[in-house]
Chains A and B, each alone.
Chain A
Amino acid sequence: MIYDLSPVWISLATSIVATAITMVAGVAAASWRERRSGSAYAIFDGVALLPLVLPPTVVGFLLLLLFGRHGPLGKLFLRVGMTVVFSWPATVIAAAVVSFPLMYLTARAAIAQVDAPLLQAARTLGASEWRVFRRIVVPLAAPGLLAGTILSFARALGEFGATLMLAGDIPGRTETIPLAIYFAVEAGDMRRAIIWSVIDVAISLSLLFALYYWARPQSTTRAQLGRS
């Protein structure tokens, strides 16, 4: 009955680190993109959203080409003595890449709804772009940014295809809950698969509750903004 619980810790650690990376990269990319207009930037949008539309296995395969022994980034890591493929960092990379579009999209929507005159007012008051971002954009877009973070975390937690391609299934190192379930079913261990599934549902449900909790303050903030 007592199983090795390592998939829970690996899943959580992977999701947390991947979400942190995604959050910083997604918000930075979104705020950079929101200050620019022009059809040329549509190419950037396309690349940023690619992991959302491609099958995770394709994303994983592309990452494998990129980070493999002969891939451009793989060679770079090899120079500092690191092999990314089939290691724990690979699970983080896979999860971060697939969850990035969700953070990027939500952050862009959240940043776009911050009233432009507020940013301009801050600038006429002598604020630097960084101060405008930190004191005006982030607090006013916070509910949306949090929702994006939770969505990204959920996506990272559920990641399977790209992780399997890039990190493989090494129990105790790269085996996350979704991989554990898959290989339990493959091995015919239904009991094990069910237990992992229940744990996964529990984690996901608490996340959805958290999302609901954060979505509510967001709607009241919007109503207040509309009124003032």
Chain B
Amino acid sequence: MALEVQIEKRLAAYNLSLAFATGAKPLAVLGPSGAGKTMTLRCIAGLERPDTGRIVLNNRVLFDSAKNINVPSRDRRVGLLFQNYALFPHLTVAENIAFGLDRLAPYERLTRTRDQITTLHLDGLENRHPRELSGGEQQRAALARALATNPEALLLDEPLSALDTHLRSQIEHQLLETLGQYRGAALLVTHNIEEAYRLGSDLLVLSQGQAAAFGPKEEIFRHPPTVEVARLTGCKNFTAARAISPNEIEATDWRCRLRVTQTIAKPITQAGIRAHQIDFVESHTATQTAPTENVFPCWPVSTSETPFRITLYLKLHKAPTTNDAPDLQAEVFKEKWQQFKDGPLPWHVCLSPQSLMIFPE
């Protein structure tokens, strides 16, 4: 199973220019709204025509601008799950699923429809119309419809964004199961970082129509190649930086020197740390066991609460004056916060060398 995509398309705001290949493992395409994610899916499905490039699915050329090949959508064998599912409102669930099976013999058509109904837990809903289904049921019906035709590639456009938040985790779990059973090339598009990480195996980070990073998701999250990828994968804290020794940098925006674990080979310009990797420690003057490297005093500027976590905006080295911009944004569980929130100021943060990310020019 292999899908190779190499496309260029001039768009109003930027040029879409992408090259990637994916196999049996689901590929998550992550990027902010308007980065070209949906356009990429539409090009693969044949709903949009790239200006130049080549799209090959299992050695079948779907599009080749040089050879003037542009296989119509109906012959591509590419399933597309639309963001709002695009179920046919005048047909029942069973009729929706059977829509793509009109070339089969009636018996086989029925069997395949039944199979999909069972696999996607739609039993009892066969004769309902889409408007009588919940969001999750609509998604499953649309998935069943797309999978019934045995597509060689399955493209999912923001599969969870149309759902209520409280439904998402359960439906995401079912989606993960469906993707696990699917034998073709699967591609899903999302602007949600956590969704991309949980559903994808490989990750393609898109920015302004270009691939900012492409590879195994763990690798991209651990070592984002650029500041932009770090930002798009959720990193909140950045500083201008320069190397002062093979394993020490000066972080100019944070006004401090930091140890790093990687040996600095190339000149670097920026460093960063993820909000949840900032560690709160007791001052090393108080205990001997606490870490001493990269520990700095800090003062809270403001806080922002979610039910289980708290985001602390911090000023390093000195107490903040009015309108002082925070240097760091740290995220901790509330249990942890309870332990130090009433402690004496300053608090101490550890920007551990293992968590620091450095970015070359």
Contact = CB atoms under 8 A, between A and B. Distances in A.
A binds B: yes
Interface of A: 115, 117-118, 120-128, 131, 135-136, 139-140, 224-225, 227-228
A121 B80 contact: yes
B74 A128 contact: yes
A224 B89 contact: yes
Which 10 pairs from chain A and chain B are nearest by CB?
A125-B100, A123-B73, A117-B86, A228-B131, A121-B86, A124-B80, A126-B74, A139-B90, A117-B82, A120-B47
A118 B75 CA distance: 17
Nearest to A223: B131
A52 to B, nearest CB: 31
Nearest to B83: A117
27 contacts: A117-B82, A118-B88, A118-B89, A120-B73, A120-B80, A120-B82, A121-B87, A121-B88, A123-B47, A124-B47, A124-B73, A124-B74, A124-B76, A124-B78, A125-B99, A125-B100, A125-B145, A125-B149, A126-B103, A127-B99, A131-B102, A136-B88, A139-B90, A140-B90, A224-B131, A228-B87, A228-B89
B102 A124 contact: no
A123 B72 contact: yes
A99 B112 CA distance: 47
B272 interface: no
Interface of B: 45-47, 72-80, 82, 84, 86-90, 99-100, 102-103, 130-131, 138, 145-146, 149
Contacts of B47: 120, 123-124
* Residue with the greatest number of chain A CB neighbours at <10 A, chosen from B46, B73, B75: B73
Contact of A118 (B73, B76, B86): B86
A139 B99 CA distance: 14
Contact of A124 (B45, B87, B89): B45
Contacts of A227: 131
Contacts of A140: 89-90
A127 B72 CA distance: 10
Contacts of B131: 224, 227-228
A36 to B, nearest CB: 15
A220 to B, nearest CB: 11
B79 A124 contact: yes
Contacts of B138: 228
Given A117-B82, A118-B88, A120-B86, A127 B100 contact: yes
Nearest to A132: B74
Given A121-B86, A122-B88, A126-B75, 6 more contacts: A117-B84, A117-B86, A120-B73, A121-B145, A123-B46, A124-B146
